Amino acid sequence: MSYRIPEGCIYCGNCEEECPNDAVYEGDDKFEIDPEKCTECVGFFDVPQCAATCSVEIPEPDPDHQETKEQLLEKFKKLHPDKEPVLF
C-alpha cells in the first residue's frame, strides 16, 4: 500500500528529503506522494521514512493503493534494478 499525505501537512519537507524512491514531491499546499513510486520503503527500511520523519505525524497508508509486501518488493526491483533490497 502506498502512503499518502492528507491535510495537515506543514510543508516542512522532511518526507521529501528522506524518501529513497523520490516518490514525495511538492504539491500546491502540501507534499504529495506518487503511488507509482512509493514502496513504503520496502527494500530500504523497515518503516516508511515519510511517516518516521514527519514532525506532525501526517503520512498514512493510502487505502486506494493497497499492495502486499511482495508487490512492494517487485516495485522496488523495478525502480532500483541495480540495488539489492534490504529485507526485514
CATH code of the domain covering residue 48: 3.30.70.20
Chain segment 27-81, per-residue pLDDT in tens: 999 999 999 999 999 999 999 999 999 999 999 999 999 999 999 999 999 999 9
Residues 6+ apart with CB under 8 A from 85: 42, 43, 44, 73, 76, 77
- Domain span at 43: 3-79
Residue 27 lies in a domain: yes
Please state the domain count of the chain.
1
pLDDT of residue 1: 84
Residue 23 lies in a domain: yes
Q: How many residues does the chain have?
A: 88
Contact 18, 49 (CB under 8 A): yes
Enter the DSSP assignment of 33: E
| Global confidence as pTM | 0.93
